[in-house]
Structure formats: C-alpha cells, structure tokens
Amino acid sequence: MFVVVGATGNTGSAVADTLLSRKQPVRIVVRTSDKGEEWKAKGAEIAVASLDDVSALTKAFEGAKGAYLLVPPNYGAATWLADQRARMDRAAEAVKKSGISHVVFLSSVGGHIAEGTGPIKAARYGEQILGKSVSNLTVLRPCYFMDNWTPVLGAAKAQGVLPTFIAPTAKIPMISTRDIGRVGAEQLMAGGKGKQIVELAGPEEYSPDQVATALGQILGKPVTAQHAPLSAVVPTFKSFGFSDEAAKLFEEMYTSFSTGAIGYEHPATLVRGNVTLAEALRGMV
C-alpha cells in the first residue's frame, strides 16, 4: 500500500494515477470525504485527514510501504515561513509516529542552499525535519513547473502577451508536473535506500520567448513575452492574496534565480522528464 498526500493537486494526482495504472494499491489522503470520491471510483482507498491533525495523518500513514508527501502552502499566512515550518513539523511527527519506512518528499531545486532562496527555505526545512523522522527519505527537487504558466494563459489569449519575471531570452530548466508525479511514483515502487536526492528537469531548457512562441502556435495568434521588473513581484503577488511576507520571499527567490544563485546540487545526475513544453502547454490550454 502506498499513501499519497496532495492527490487533488497536480503532482499528487500524477503520482496516484501512475501507481494505479501500474496496479499498485493506493490510499489517498483528502481533507473531506467528497474530495475522495473520484479516487474511490478509480479503485483507491480513502483516508480523511489534514496536515493540521497529527493523529488522523498518523493513522493514514500506518501500514503503508511508502508515502508521497507534499506540504501545500497557505500563502495568505502573515508569518508564512513559520507557518509552513509548523505544518512540516506536524507532518514529520505523523510520519515518525506511524512507523512508515519510506517517504518521497516534494522539495525544490535549491533545497541544499541555506539562504537567499525565498519560499524554497521551507522545502529545505522539510528535508531536514523529515530526515530525522524516517529511515528512508527520497527528496525530489524539481525546477520551475511548466504548469506555472497556467495563470497567465488568459493574458496570452486575450492580449497576446505573456507576463513573466524571467528574462525573455533566459533558458531555464522547466518540468511538467506529470513527469514529477511519474518519477515520484517510480521512486515509491523502487523502495527507499537511506536518504536520496533526485533532482529533476524537463527534456531540455526553455525560455519565456519559447513559451510565447509555442503558445502562439497553439492559439493561432502571435504571443510575446512581456518582461516585468522584479520591483513588481511584491505588489503582483499581494494582488493574488499573498501576505506581505510571502510576496517578499518570492521577490527574493526571483532575484536569486536572475543572478544564477539558485541551481542544482548534483547537476551531473539530473533526471530528465519526457513531457515537452509544447505538450504541457497544449494540456493547459
């Protein structure tokens, strides 16, 4: 039995779908029973628990061979980093109490870097606290999600522009959440071997200009990448409902990415996905 936390999101659903397609027994953790109906119909077992309920989460992990774990952020929290670390603490406590032997944890590129990484610092904390709670920990460190372009598709469709805080010509590693989920499922099935770091990227690196071109081909109209200054990060994210602290952490992260300060720890052993940018964008559109 494999437990999947976050199956209502992109990577978690890909983990669960991959496991079920390979005839593996799956237990899906959901906050309310209605969110599990679709997975129950697919043959999964359902456990109702939240990351705020250590006892229920412990019970959901019990008896399983391994678990896929991510800790969804509450970007509206005023003290975002402390709030996220507290949620990591509760998840790690449930892992330890359950006696589960293997956790595949969704972290981030740059998880090995102590400072200057913005919200990635929470993922780094998760790696550290889980490392003390489970005998076998597989850490996934993906790069920029291709799916992160979804919120600006409306602007591309309506106005032919693709807003971005990334320099239009800068090629960066991007990966589809489908690939992250597939690799996560495969790591669960392979079993844990102490602490392992799996750093992930897509088939190749892409720039915002390439994203705009690919979108233009899909939409049948010209699309141009529109570079926004880093000074616009905080007001933009606050307009999305992010707290001041969370928005400033994203400004810090984008600044570090722009200077090349955030990267892979072991680039020579990078695991590449199969989903191309064009395939991912078609799915989003």
Q: 52: which residues sit within 8 A by CB, 6+ positions away? A: 87, 90
**pLDDT on residue 157:** 92
94-129 per-position pLDDT tens digit: 999 999 999 999 999 999 999 999 999 999 999 999
Return the structure tokens found at 32: 């309310």
**Band of the pLDDT at 34, cuts 50, 70, 90?**
confident
pLDDT at 276 exceeding the cut of 90: yes
Cα distances (Å, whole numbers) of residue 170 to 154, 173, 207, 260: 23, 10, 5, 11
Dihedrals φ, ψ of 151, to 5°? -60, -20
CATH value of 2-146+175-201+267-273 in 1.10.3720.10, 3.60.10.10, 3.40.50.720, 3.40.1160.10: 3.40.50.720
pLDDT at 175 exceeding the cut of 90: yes
**Residue 134 DSSP label:** -
**Residue-averaged pLDDT of the chain:** 95
Average pLDDT over residues 134-159: 94
**pLDDT on residue 8:** 85
Q: Residues 98, 102, 107, 109: what is their CA dihedral angle, to the nearest 10 degrees? A: 160
Q: Percentage of the chain surpassing pLDDT 70?
A: 100
pTM more than 0.85? yes
Strands 172-175 and 205-206: antiparallel
64-99 per-position pLDDT tens digit: 999 999 988 999 999 999 999 999 999 999 999 999
* Domain regions of the chain by residue span: 2-146+175-201+267-273
pLDDT at 33 exceeding the cut of 90: no
208-224 per-position pLDDT tens digit: 999 999 999 999 999 99
